[in-house]
Amino acid sequence: MLRKVIVPTELADITLKDYQRFMGANPTDETFNQLALSIFCGIDQEEYPLFPKAQLEEIETLVQFTLNEKLTWAFAETYFQYEVLVCHSAWLMRA
């Protein structure tokens, strides 16, 4: 069975809403990977047996690398026809 998984490879791939949801869940060392895979990739813990272990570890590594990327701009979220950019706590909206 094929399962399409979108893995964020840069911070711009992560919406502000998802990042806030992730941080609001207070990830610990034990729950970090589970939360990251669930929120950013849509892989729930019940689905882990469907994936080869090496593949899950590779996805976890990519997400960790992405989250450790230095924040240069911030997060961009496209919603309908508006693009909201968050930069230094200032909200800029462009149509």
User: Is 39 buried (19+), middle (13-18) or exposed (0-12) by CB count in 10 A?
Assistant: buried
pLDDT value for 87: 36
Least Cα distance to 22 among 42, 39, 45 occurs for 39
| String of DSSP letters for 52-95 | -HHHHHHHHHHHHHHHHS--SS-EEEEETTEEEEEETTEEEEE-
35 band by pLDDT with thresholds 50, 70 and 90? very high
* Whether pTM exceeds 0.85: no
What is the percentage of the chain residues whose pLDDT exceeds 90? 20
Q: Is 44 left (phi over 0), alpha (psi -120 to 50) or beta?
A: beta
User: Is 67 buried (19+), middle (13-18) or exposed (0-12) by CB count in 10 A?
Assistant: middle
